[in-house]
Structure 1
Amino acid sequence: MGIEEEGEERAVIFTYGTLKHGFSNHVLMQDLISTNDAVYLGVYRTVEKYPLVCGPYRVPFLLNFPGVGDRIWGELYAVSRIGLDRMDELEGITRNHYERLPVEVVRGTENVKVMKAEAYYGHRSFAEEMWKKNGEKGFCEYNQEEAKGYIKRKDRPVDVSFVDQIRLFVSSSSD
């Protein structure tokens, strides 16, 4: 699931949340682009339907339940190994926040050329509970409206891990 860029195999990553243009973690993508560790490929959407929901702090989670939800809009990037390591760190791969798994996407509204990519899905250890907590309803795009109330990592409590915050979120009673 990569493309050749300047003699280097690059991962193709579909971003659907805070890494997109106009959102708080896009600074990472800008940094990777400035060091040639990422190349923006355009606006894409998933071929399959998936649930896209928000968890604690209005953090978006794509859930790996193909065929459920909507076709999700996002951005596609070709990323170097260095860039991928930095993205994996941000997404908490080793801390069970997200897992990077395959996804098929198409450019914009086209349904012609399917691209194989990877996306960061909410970790399987809490995905089902997250879906239920959101009333088994998601949205097709993480936009400014869905992001209202998002709390940046630096402004979150440091004495509770993000996985613990997720557990608290999914086990709490609905508002």
Structure 2
Amino acid sequence: MLGEDQAQFIGVAKTKELYPLVCDPFQVSFLFNIPSSGLQVKGYLYSRIAVDQTAQELLDELKGVSKGHYECRPLVLTNLQSLDYDCKPNSEILTKGYFAHPSLQHGLSRVRHIEAYTKRGTATYFYRKDRPKNYTFLEHVNN
């Protein structure tokens, strides 16, 4: 878990481009790097300066970067809503986001696109310990 000393919450923003954001049957969310083919996705923005190397490594491990589940890529955000920062409505922010690895697109290509991964989605999230054991994570997604 990331501590307050490792990541500072900035606010909520939307992607400038349209991207497909989907959830698999276990409510794991996937943002695909297919610009202009989904919705403006809403998410949380954390300070890039405050995310130290340890926090970045923890996030990469959580997202399965080394396993080929996700990849961290540049991302342009807009419409930042923040209590602590004075933001112009159409200003753009260059940051990084976690996109699903391209190998996962086939299994989730027909899933409904969503605008944000919300509490409603997390309420039905299946933890790994509760998922069937006879499939790997990638097999679950592609089936």
**TM-score, normalization by structure 1:** 0.69
2:45 is aligned, of 71, 76, 94, to 76
Tell me the equivalent position of 2:71: 99
Q: Distance in 2 between matches of 1:125 and 1:103?
A: 20
Tell me the equivalent position of 1:47: 16
1:7-32, CA deviations, whole angstroms, 9 ceiling, x for partnerless residues? xxxxxxxxxxxxxxxxxxxxx2xx33
1:134-162, CA deviations, whole angstroms, 9 ceiling, x for partnerless residues? 1xx30111123334421123333455321
Letter in 2 for 1:49: L
1:102 offset after TM fit, Å?
1.0
1:46-100, CA deviations, whole angstroms, 9 ceiling, x for partnerless residues? 1111111111411111111111111011101121111000000000001111111
Tell me the equivalent position of 1:32: 3
Alignment of 1:72-151 (within 5 A): 72-78=41-47, 79-106=51-78, 107-108=80-81, 111-132=89-110, 134=111, 137-151=112-126
1:163 offset after TM fit, Å?
1.3
Tell me the equivalent position of 1:64: 33
SS in structure 1 at match of 2:119: coil
Indicate the larger mover: 137-146 or 99-108. Answer: 137-146
SS in structure 2 at match of 1:86: helix
Q: Distance in 2 between matches of 1:47 and 1:104?
A: 6
Q: Distance in 1 between matches of 2:77 and 2:124?
A: 28
Unaligned runs of 5+ in 2: 82-86
SS in structure 1 at match of 2:22: strand
Q: Distance in 1 between matches of 2:40 and 2:74?
A: 15
Structure with the largest fraction of strand: 1
